[in-house]
Chains A and B, each alone.
Chain A
Amino acid sequence: MTTFYFAVAVFLLFNLLAGLVRVHRGPTAADRMLSALLFGTTTVAVLLLLAEVMALPALRDVALLFVVLAAVIAVAFTRVPKHLGEDSE
């Protein structure tokens, strides 16, 4: 089971790193923010897997903190003025 959990965790981490291409490419600020939100969910899944495989129940608390506070960043993002939201070089 340990190997299986770690294999899934590696798979999720790989997904996350592949998704960074979208952060790099953009094109709009919303796209970048959106990818960051996906990565938040991925991280929560990885932490839940690690809690099981490393026998560290406190990691579930970390996952809980991440999901409770996930919306703070989204709210902060909508405070970026809209006409300036499209960033250019």
Chain B
Amino acid sequence: MTLLETLTVILVSVGGLFFLTGTIGLLRFPSSFSRLHALTKADNVGLGFIACGLALQAESVWVAMKILLVWGVALIAATVSAHLIARFTLRAAGGSRRTPP
């Protein structure tokens, strides 16, 4: 096993662990907001670790950049989705007056 492969194994494994923490948070945390907080960070960091690990094994720089692009777009989409769902939950709980849009 080369150094690069060892690095990939470490990165991908750490990514898997972050996904595990995300799932545990989803199942164990008590309220919608704490679950939102657990998920949107943990799973995107996990995806980032896995993407970096796989990018090391890519056959060309372009492929590596495509893998990292997937992660970048995922971050943006997750940010907006988390914001939309948090806003929805807050307003559903009756906090619509006090919240800025």
Contacts and interface: CB of A to CB of B under 8 A. Distances in A.
Interface residues of B, number: 46
Interface of B: 5, 8-9, 12-13, 15-16, 19-20, 22-23, 26-27, 32, 35-36, 39-40, 43-44, 46-47, 50-51, 54, 57, 63, 66-67, 69-70, 73-74, 77-78, 80-82, 84-85, 87-89, 91-92, 96
Majority secondary structure of chain A interface residues (helix, strand, loop or mixed): helix
Contact of B43 (A21, A42, A52, A68): A42
Give the 4 A-B CB pairs with smallest separation, nearest first: A74-B81, A70-B77, A67-B74, A67-B73
A12 B91 contact: no
A64 B73 contact: yes
Contact of B39 (A21, A34, A77): A34
Interface in A51-89: 52, 57, 60, 63-64, 67-68, 70-71, 73-75, 77-78, 80, 82-83, 85-86
21 contacts: A1-B8, A5-B12, A8-B50, A11-B20, A15-B20, A22-B35, A34-B26, A38-B26, A38-B39, A44-B74, A49-B54, A52-B54, A57-B63, A60-B66, A64-B69, A70-B74, A74-B84, A77-B85, A78-B87, A82-B91, A85-B92
B77 A71 contact: yes
Contact of B26 (A22, A30, A49): A22
B67 A37 contact: no
Interface of A: 1, 4-5, 8, 11-12, 15, 18-19, 21-22, 28, 30-31, 33-35, 37-38, 41-42, 44-45, 48-49, 52, 57, 60, 63-64, 67-68, 70-71, 73-75, 77-78, 80, 82-83, 85-86
Nearest to B57: A52
